[in-house]
Chain A
Amino acid sequence: MGSLGLREVWRFAWRGITANRMRSSLTVLGVLIGVSSVIVLTAVGTGSAVSVQQSIQKLGTNSIVVSSLGGGRFSRSANSNSKPLTVRDAVALNDAVKAPDVKSAAPVLQAQGATCTYGNLASSPQSVIGTWPSYFEASNSPVDKGTYWTADDVVAGRPVGVIGSTVASDLFGTDNPVGQVIRCHGQSITVVGVMKTKGTTGFQDADSIVISPITFIQRSMSGYGSIGSIQVEATGPTTTTAAMGEVTSIMDAQHKIKAGGTADYRVLNQASILQSSSQSGHTLTVLLAVVAAISLLVGGIGITNIMLVSVTERTREIGIRKAIGAPKSAILSQFLIEAMLLSLLGGTSGVLLGLGISHFTILGVKPVVSLSSVLLAFIVSALVGLIFGGWPANRAASLRPIEALRYE
């Protein structure tokens, strides 16, 4: 039995594609748009999820904040039982036996409304904080220039400070602030270090800050009363939940809260707040993926449509080919290869375009391409082409030659 070489069928198929270049390229374009939008849109979704994840990392997943529910230290609470947080609470939390998952706990005393000056330049930091050295690690605040002050500085109450990058640029421009003396709230503070830029979250500028030993702030600005919050660091990201439990039980004991009673403080893991926003990021990814899948489907329908038109239009040609001895299999594979070539051309260029676009930042999101989306888009486009291209081709190849020849 005469068998047609595969190369011949490929040639026939290629000729079929090039015979109508405009239509073929429009079909390829449809698949291209579908495939590249799947890749780009899912990459944007994934990218935004990743950026949320990164800001969680920046905050420190280990980081826990205990804050007072009684309001600021000057507020008069209606509930007389409500006790403000004190340095003693922070001391109690540094307990290796009762709180094995707590690495450190540092009291945070905030003095607000302070203005700092250097020469004739001024800066109004959003917060001037008095704390312990462990705060730096617990709040994920590394220094860029200079160094941290130490526990020794806390004991001695030395007027030293680490400043945020906003304060540094306000007062020193591009000069090195380390070793200079600034004045805040009428007090001289020697700058020992500058924090690495953290960035702005909402209207909070994390870099508009001065951090000094708590003893110095108490003595010179706020007095020895209550403190605003306690910055706690868990031993690791996996122990954060356990650490929160330990903090709660120690604080209950400190504030004499009975079981089932209402606490006058709040324990918060900042990462958990962002976690919920990363949930909405995931929803975004799904939404984008659905939109992209629809455009891919439309591209697939494009192939089907073109194959239908192409087969119908060439029914007569199919009749001629059959009349001169073409077996059904040769006709069928010719059209299948045609459909496959169209979808593979579109798929490949779509993948390339998608990867290209994903190099750029889109709407402030750096897209992250996932291999699975590339594969999925590619395979789906090829399958759609094969299945929906094969169906009309099979119909035509099954016609009796005379029926195909009579077709007008």
Chain B
Amino acid sequence: MAVGDSASKSLVVKVEDVTKVYGAGETAVHALRGVSLEIEQGEFVAIMGASGSGKSTLMNILGCLDIPSAGDYWIRNLNVADLDEEQLSVVRSQLIGFVFQSFNLIPRTSAASNIELPLAYQGISLSKRRERAREALAAVGLSDRGKHEPHELSGGQQQRVAIARALVTKPAMLLADEPTGALDTQSTQEILELLHDINRGGSTVIVITHEEEVARAARRMIRLRDGHVVEDVKWVA
């Protein structure tokens, strides 16, 4: 995998003056009004903001699920605007691990199969996939739940399966969109500790949240309001 080359610091994400407009004319909604930020390898970033602040839009753009209306976005040293549909799917497959608020596991498919899926799309052989899925399950503490289907798991367990699925490809960054939004306090704690462990392992973690508690787990907080970055603070954990 190509690692960011030019800069002295290894940037994972570089966003420059990105805007996103939904609709057109009178009814146009400006979700992002020129956002610029840089995130380095190994950071643990919380993106905060009230609903409607544009944080989810930013997250979707960072995850290559959506494209900006204007501005540039580099992952490592790749300008996303230059990529076609096929190359974008490779970026999503190799560089990004995405965790959703609603888990988004494939229904009627076992936890292990869900975790194997991104590897399958990378064309990795079945035996290797099995092994790596086993490792990923162990990493999230669910070694004994591999054969269970999503509906047989609790919310917290489903989210841990989703995190295992996001991590199994060893992506450049883990994007989590309100990962604890649908969980109780107990599970929230477990997930936050898990994200912490992942970050300590060297992975870049970006979490979207509106909960202060979640943001405190991170080491940098970016606050959005009305499509602008209004606050960007770092602290030592």
Given A323-B104, A327-B89, is A15 in contact with B109 using a C-beta cutoff of 8 Å?
A: yes
Within residues 319 to 369 of chain A, which ones have a CB less than 8 A from any CB in chain B? 320-330
Given A325-B94, A402-B60, is A330 in contact with B109 using a C-beta cutoff of 8 Å?
A: no
Does B65 contact A323, Cβ atoms closer than 8 Å?
yes
Q: Is B118 an interface residue, CB under 8 A from the partner?
A: yes
Select one of A316, A320, A328, A405 contacting B89, CB under 8 A: A328
Q: Is A252 an interface residue, CB under 8 A from the partner?
A: no
Select one of A323, A325, A400, A401 contacting B90, CB under 8 A: A325
Q: Is A261 an interface residue, CB under 8 A from the partner?
A: no
**Per-position binary interface string of chain B over residues 93-109, scored 1 when its CB falls under 8 Å from any chain A CB and 0 otherwise:** 11010101000111111
Q: How many A-B residue pairs have CB under 8 A?
A: 81
Does B106 contact A325, Cβ atoms closer than 8 Å?
no
Does A2 contact B90, Cβ atoms closer than 8 Å?
yes
Minimum Cβ distance to chain B for residue A402 (Å): 4
Does A405 contact B93, Cβ atoms closer than 8 Å?
no
Minimum Cβ distance to chain B for residue A398 (Å): 8
Report chain B residues within 8 Å CB of A400.
65-67
Report chain A residues within 8 Å CB of B93.
2, 324-327
Interface residues on B, range: 20 to 34
Binding-face segment, A3-11, A54-62, A80-88, A132-140:
A3-11
When chains A and B are docked, how far (Å) is the Cα of A402 from the Cα of B67? Answer: 10
Report chain A residues within 8 Å CB of B184.
none
Q: Is B169 an interface residue, CB under 8 A from the partner?
A: yes
Report chain B residues within 8 Å CB of A95.
none
Minimum Cβ distance to chain A for residue B12 (Å): 17
Q: Is A1 an interface residue, CB under 8 A from the partner?
A: yes
Does A401 contact B92, Cβ atoms closer than 8 Å?
yes
Question: Please, which residue of chain B has its CB at the minimum distance from the CB of A325?
Answer: B93
Q: Is B25 an interface residue, CB under 8 A from the partner?
A: no
Q: Is A317 an interface residue, CB under 8 A from the partner?
A: yes
**Per-position binary interface string of chain B over residues 166-195, scored 1 when its CB falls under 8 Å from any chain A CB and 0 otherwise:** 100100000000000000000000000000
How many chain A residues touch the partner (CB < 8 A)?
25
Q: Is A19 an interface residue, CB under 8 A from the partner?
A: yes
Does A324 contact B165, Cβ atoms closer than 8 Å?
yes
Report chain A residues within 8 Å CB of B117.
321, 324
Question: Please, which residue of chain A has its CB at the minimum distance from the CB of B168?
Answer: A324
Select one of B85, B90, B118 contacting A324, CB under 8 A: B118
Q: Is B227 an interface residue, CB under 8 A from the partner?
A: no
Greatest chain A CB density within 10 A among B63, B100, B104, B122 is at B104
Question: Please, which residue of chain B has its CB at the minimum distance from the CB of A11?
Answer: B120
Greatest chain A CB density within 10 A among B90, B98, B106, B120 is at B120
Report chain A residues within 8 Å CB of B63.
323
User: Which B residues lie at the A interface, using CB under 8 A?
Assistant: 60, 63-67, 85-86, 89-90, 92-94, 96, 98, 100, 104-109, 117-118, 120-124, 165-166, 169
9 A-B pairs with the lowest CB-CB distances in the bound complex, closest first: A325-B93, A2-B122, A327-B89, A402-B65, A401-B65, A402-B66, A2-B123, A325-B92, A324-B118
Given contacts A2-B124, A327-B121, 20 further A-B contacts (CB under 8 A): A1-B86, A2-B90, A4-B120, A5-B120, A323-B63, A324-B92, A324-B98, A324-B165, A325-B89, A325-B92, A325-B94, A325-B96, A327-B89, A327-B93, A330-B121, A400-B66, A400-B67, A401-B65, A405-B65, A405-B104
